[in-house]
Amino acid sequence: MNKTRVGIINVTGYVGMELARYLQQHPHVELVSVTGRSAAGKRLGDVFPHLAGLDLTIQTELGDVELAFSAMPHKESAAVVAPLVERGLKVIDLSADFRLKDAGQYPAWYGFAHPQPPLLADAVYGLPELHRRQIAATSLLANPGCFPTGAILALAPLVKAGLISDDIIVDSKTGVSGAGRGLTLGSHYAEANEDTTAYALEGHRHLPEIVQELTALGGEPRVTFVPHLVPMARGILTTCYATPKETTGREGLRQLYRDFYKNEPFVRVVTAPPHTKHTWGSNLCLVYPTVDARTDRLVIISCLDNLGKGAAGQAVQNMNLMLGLLETAGLEAPAVYP
């Protein structure tokens, strides 16, 4: 079988390099082109020694590919992606530029007017557990944010079943790579180690994504989302709090989740509080639903690798769907633990 030729735009960030790592192991696609401004002209393996097995030079322009991943920053990504879609390529955009259905949200949350509202309408939000069929049919995929992936997977079964009130709290804890490879004081080792803090309390950009997808499942969710930075490189643990419309037993709750995710290769409903480390380097999302019996409140915990199911792994899963490949191809490797 001929391998499908794929490329990565902006391979030099954490998401781009993790895409390359996954694609290197993929049986049915071949990574033939990678771009990156700062490192253009260099061998990929010289910039990222762990990728030395890929015989590629970083280019300024994308080569001849059938499917492209864009790991460009938001706003810049839309500008790069539009012409590719017009040329008939399949595109998976890992920025936020095609995630929000309502173009009117971009100025408020991202500070720019969306340049391509019609494309926005065509784009599919790439959470396979909710939109598998549309993903398989689209040419433009908006890969979900890392926090939204964990939050939506944690809450979708309850919201869709209409079992909880609209008041939802999402308390997330993320590792530092989620903030990217750019240099900021907050990601300086000496500042981040031995520290935990909350941030973006005025409203994190991933909030409208969470609200959009939950709303589509039912109700008018009023979500308070507080992300926290904890000292680890990878991983997001999300603790969701919700009020059931009627008293729910723990076992019934778990069965609801098991049923919802029973055919999902990358969501596992677990029976003990999950550890981010059990997803390290993989495309897995673990979900743990439980009930605080004293207050009848529901507590749903999910965890994932922000660069795996939270970004590059999920993008490969989406690619598999878009190319008609086995959904799990290239994603079978278990997490690296400890």
Of 20, 74, 88, residue with least CA distance to 50: 20
Q: Around Cβ 53, how many Cβ atoms within 10 Å? A: 12
Q: How far is the CB of 145 from its own copies (least distance, A)?
A: 18
Residues in 287-316 at the binding interface with its own copies, rule: CB under 8 A: 288, 290, 292-295, 297, 299, 301, 303
Of 90, 132, 278, 309, the one binding its own copies by CB under 8 A: 278
Of 281, 313, 315, 331, the one binding its own copies by CB under 8 A: 281
Q: 17 or 96: whose CB is closer to its own copies?
A: 17
Q: Is residue 27 a contact partner of residue 33, using CB atoms and an 8 Å limit?
A: no
Q: How far is the CB of 337 from its own copies (least distance, A)?
A: 4
Of 108, 133, 255, 337, the one binding its own copies by CB under 8 A: 337
Q: 37 or 188: whose CB is closer to its own copies?
A: 188
Residues whose CB is less than 8 angstroms from the CB of residue 210 and which lie 6 or more positions away in sequence, other chains included: 147, 148, 151, 152, 170, 223, 225
CA distance 198 to 204: 11
Q: How far is the CB of 84 from its own copies (least distance, A)?
A: 27
Catalytic site positions? 146
Distances (CA, A) of 323 to 23, 90, 124, 138, 139: 14, 9, 15, 10, 10
Residues in 10-39 at the binding interface with its own copies, rule: CB under 8 A: 14, 17, 21, 24-25
Stretch that binds its own copies, among 95-103, 151-159, 232-240, 319-327 (CB under 8 A): 232-240
Residues 109-148, one symbol each (x = binds its own copies by CB under 8 A, - = not), give ----------------------------------------
Give me 188's structure tokens.
Answer: 């300086």
Give me 37's structure tokens.
Answer: 């401004």
Give me 164's structure tokens.
Answer: 């909880």
Q: 216 or 233: whose CB is closer to its own copies?
A: 233
Distances (CA, A) of 229 to 161, 191, 192, 207, 294: 32, 11, 8, 16, 29
Q: How far is the CB of 130 from its own copies (least distance, A)?
A: 23
* Nearest-10 crossing angle of helices 207-217, 146-161: 20
* 3-state DSSP assignment of residue 47: helix
* Phi (first) and psi of residue 311, to 5 degrees: -165, -90
Question: Does 43 contact its own copies by CB under 8 A?
Answer: no
Distances (CA, A) of 26 to 20, 54, 135, 297: 10, 12, 19, 42
Q: 171 or 264: whose CB is closer to its own copies?
A: 171
Q: 134 or 248: whose CB is closer to its own copies?
A: 248
Stretch that binds its own copies, among 71-79, 152-160, 212-220, 267-275 (CB under 8 A): 267-275
Q: 276 or 314: whose CB is closer to its own copies?
A: 276
Size of the site for its own copies (CB under 8 A): 84
CA distance 123 to 114: 13
Question: Does 226 contact its own copies by CB under 8 A?
Answer: yes
Question: Does 270 contact its own copies by CB under 8 A?
Answer: yes
Q: 60 or 189: whose CB is closer to its own copies?
A: 189
Q: Is residue 40 a contact partner of residue 58, using CB atoms and an 8 Å limit?
A: yes
Q: How far is the CB of 79 from its own copies (least distance, A)?
A: 27
Residues in 175-214 at the binding interface with its own copies, rule: CB under 8 A: 175-177, 181, 183-185, 187-199, 201-203, 207
Q: Is residue 316 a contact partner of residue 310, using CB atoms and an 8 Å limit?
A: no
